[in-house]
Amino acid sequence: MDDIVLHHYATSPFSEKVRLVLGMKQMRWRSVTVPSILPKPDVVALTGGYRRTPFMQIGADIYCDSALMCRVIDRRVPEPPLYPESTHGLAAIVAQWADQSFFWTAVPFTMQPAGVTHLFAGLPPEAVKAFGADRAAMSPAFRRAPLHDQAAAFHDYLGRLEHLLADDRPFLLGALPSIADFAAVQSIWFVRRAPPVAAHLENYRRVDVWYERVTAFGHGSPEPMTSAEAIALAHATTAFAPCGVDAEAGLAAGTMVGVTPADYAHDEVVGSLVGLDASEVVVERVDARAGTVHVHFPRIGFHVKALKKESP
């Protein structure tokens, strides 16, 4: 059993991306199911306010954002590599496109009325309403594109994937799977959950074969854990992953900082700066239930701000 705890829920695409990465690495991991909407008291006990899904825990180290989580998983289990040497920079660039442009086209497109009927089938209307209200509050600036614009972009993007696969390569960037595959596949996985929208995938034969190949990695071996157990684990852990503040990073160790996602769900996580370099920021915070935890974020996509000291 590796000591990775994934906090996630079944229908979350970014969680599916990480579950498939854990599958590719054939890992045994612990699985905590989190709520899909606020309130999330047991999430916040560990993250300090970050509410997005998934997040990952290793003892008292908490990793936010799937891009960082994938890097950490790859460091712990380097084989097979998630960032093969031959396509390293390219894989990360394609993955960023997939996490942002492709995801934010595919998911709203799937949430069109015909898709929503399938996605929320069997749920009471109050639950559907609560979900809508939660997401509206999480992304108040989100402007939904007209359906025909979403459809056009979705097909354009699918055409790109089909084109990449045109030489019958098994994975998007060639012979080896990479982060690009997992980041792109999560959106298709979500679309396929809504059959009327999934009909749009019909003419992309290579994408279909590739989808089956990537999802065949499975999820590794998850073992259930409760959120109370996860909090107790953090509380009982006193050692942290090594980290430090780069002298040139612009902020000194021990500064009280706030870390906020740049795009949506702008909940600030406040703590004392213990790690800062070009790729990662780490804050230490003390929680009544989880004890002292280190919360890690990638630098890309997050704002780190020194907080003003209160005047005496």
Ligand X SMILES: N[C@@H](CCC(=O)N[C@@H](CS)C(=O)NCC(=O)O)C(=O)O
Binding site for ligand X (CB under 6 A): 12-14, 36, 51-53, 65-67, 99
Q: Which residue is nearest to ligand X (CB)?
A: 52
Task: Kindly tell me which of 6 and 164 has the beta carbon lying closer to ligand X.
Answer: 6
Smallest separation, CB 51 to ligand X (Å):
5
**Shortest Å, Cβ 245 to ligand X:** 24
CB of 65 or CB of 284, closer to ligand X: 65
In whole angstroms, the minimum distance from the beta carbon of 37 to ligand X comes to: 6
Query: 121-131: b or e for each residue (b if 16 or more CB lie within 10 Å)?
Result: eeeeeeeeeeb
Q: Minimum Å distance from CB 44 to ligand X?
A: 11
Please state the closest distance from residue 183 (CB atom) to ligand X, in A: 9
Cα distances (Å, whole numbers) of residue 231 to 4, 226, 235: 14, 9, 6
SS (H, E, C) the chain: CCCCEEEECCCCHHHHHHHHHHHHCCCEEEEEECCCCCCCHHHHHHHCCCCCCCEEEECCEEEECHHHHHHHHHHHCCCCCCCCHHHHHHHHHHHHHHHHHHHHHHHHHHCCHHHHHHHCCCCCHHHHHHHHHHHHHHCCCCCCCCHHHHHHHHHHHHHHHHHHCCCCCCECCECCCCHHHHHHHHHHHHHCCCHHHHHHHCCCHHHHHHHHHHHCCCCCEEEECCHHHHHHHHHHCCCCCCCCECHHHCCCCCCEEEEEECCCCCCCEEEEEEEECCCEEEEEEEECCCEEEEEEEECCCEEEEECCCCCC
At closest approach, how far in Å is the CB of 119 from ligand X? 13
Which CB, 12 or 237, lies closer to ligand X?
A: 12
Q: How many Å apart are CA 174 and CA 167, to the nearest integer?
A: 9
Identity of the residue, 132 or 174, whose beta carbon is nearer to ligand X in the bound complex? 132
**Given the complex with ligand X, which of 251 and 265 has the nearer CB atom?**
265
Nearest CB to ligand X, comparing residues 14 and 157: 14
Q: How far is the CB of 12 from ligand X (least distance, A)?
A: 4
Nearer to ligand X, 67 or 92 (CB): 67
Quick one: 47 or 255, whose CB is closer to ligand X? 47
Encoded tokens for 107: 């998911």
Minimum distance, C-beta of residue 132 to ligand X, in the bound complex (Å): 12
Residue appearing with tokens 């909940």: 267
